[in-house]
A and B are shown apart, each in its own frame.
Chain A
C-alpha cells in the first residue's frame, strides 16, 4: 500500500501553531498533528474520510494544548 492524497497545512489554535498532515492509506485516512515549534507529534487519528480523521486528531491536539501553561518571562 502507498500513502495517497498527501496534504499538509498549518492552523493556529490560540497562540500555538499546529502542523496537520493527512493522507489516505488503503481504505482509511490518517491525520497526524504536530505543534510546529518544536515539531513534536501531538495526535494521530484515522477515519473513513479526511474530515473525520482531521476532526478526531485536532480534537485530541486541542485538548492537549489546553493544558499548556504559559509563564511570564522577563
Chain B
C-alpha cells in the first residue's frame, strides 16, 4: 500500500487535541460559514474570516503580502510556527488558507484531516473562548506563483499537454446549474473549460471527511488521465474547492507541477468568447 508523498502536511484530530495549546503550534479555523467559529471551536484555535482576511477586499485577488504579514503577526505566528488549519465543508477554506500560506512561503503548515466535521462527529471538546496570542513581526517571502494559475496559463492549456481538472459537481460541470444548488450564480454561462476532466473534490474524501488512501487517490486521478508526468491545473467556481484538490495532488500524491486556478469558473464563465463545453 502506497503512502502519501508528504504525510507531514496532515495531522489527525487526536494530534490537534493534544497540541492545541502547544506554544510552537497555532491552530486556526477557517470556515465557509464565518459565524461557525463563534459557536464553538477547538481550544486554542484562532478564527480567520476568508471573506475579509484571506483575500484582497478591493480587487479580486489573494491576500496582499503586507496584509498577510499583518495577519500572521496578529495571529502570533512566526516563520517557525507549525500552523494547523481546519474548517467546515471538509476543509475547503482551510485548504484555501494553506495554499496562500504556501504562496507566501510558510514552511510548516498542515491540515487537520477530516476538518471540523470529524471533530464534531467524534464529540471532541469545543470552546467559545478566543485565545490571546502574543503578536509577532512576520516577514513573508515574495509570492511563489508556481502554484497559482492565471487566465493566460489556462488559455495555453487549451492546446493540450496539460491536465485540467474541474473539481465542481457534475451538474456544474455539465452546465445544468451555474452554482452549487442553493448558492448565488456568479457567472453568465454554464459548462466547463474544453478538455477539462470532471473529478469532483469530494471524490478524494471518505465519508468521515478524511482523505482517501494514496492508492485510491492515485486510481481516481490517473483513471481520468491526470498523471504526474504532466503539469496540472485545478479549478472550481472561486478557487477554494480547487485548493482542496490542489492539496491532494501536490502533497498527498506528490505531483511536481500543480497549480490552483483561483479565477476559476467565475472568471472563465464570464469571459466574452471564451470557449465552453457543455454536457457530461
Contact = CB atoms under 8 A, between A and B. Distances in A.
Physical interaction between A and B: yes
Interface of A: 1-4, 6, 8, 16, 21, 23, 25, 30, 32, 34-35, 37-42, 44, 46, 61, 64-65, 67-71, 73-74
Given A25-B40, A30-B39, A35-B182, A71 B33 contact: no
Interface residues of B, number: 40
A73 B121 CA distance: 38
Contact of B177 (A1, A42, A70): A70
Contacts of B176: 70-71, 73
B241 A38 contact: yes
A25 to B, nearest CB: 6
B148 interface: no
Interface of B is mostly: loop
Contacts of B36: 44
B174 interface: yes
Contacts of B39: 25, 30, 46
A39 to B, nearest CB: 5
B182 A40 contact: yes
Given A3-B126, A21-B120, A41-B33, 13 more contacts: A16-B182, A25-B126, A35-B180, A37-B169, A37-B180, A38-B168, A38-B202, A44-B36, A46-B39, A68-B177, A73-B279, A74-B174, A74-B279
